[in-house]
Amino acid sequence: MFLHEFDRIEAEAFLTLASELIEDDGIITADEDAMLAEYAAALGVYDFVYDAAACAAARDTLAQLNEVSKRKVYMEMYSFAVCDGFEDPTERRSLNMLRECLELDSHICTLLETGVRDLYGVYEQIEAALGAEPAPVKVEG
pLDDT digits (tens, 9 = 90+) for 85-132: 767 788 899 999 999 999 999 999 999 999 999 988 888 888 888 887
Residue 12 in 3-state DSSP?
helix
Summarize pLDDT for 11-47 with one digit per residue, the tens. 999 999 999 988 887 778 788 888 899 999 999 999 9
Contacts within 8 Å (CB) and 24+ apart, 86-89? 88/24, 88/25
Could you tell me which of 84, 85, 82, 111 has the C-alpha nearest to residue 94?
Answer: 82
Q: Where are the domains of the chain?
A: 8-85+95-108
The pLDDT assigned to 140 comes to 63
Identify the DSSP state of 54.
G
Q: Is 15 exposed, middle or buried (0-12, 13-18, 19+ CB in 10 A)?
A: buried
- Cα–Cα distance between 125 and 116 in angstroms, integer? 14
pTM, two decimal places: 0.85
The pLDDT assigned to 23 comes to 85
The pLDDT assigned to 114 comes to 93
The pLDDT assigned to 89 comes to 85
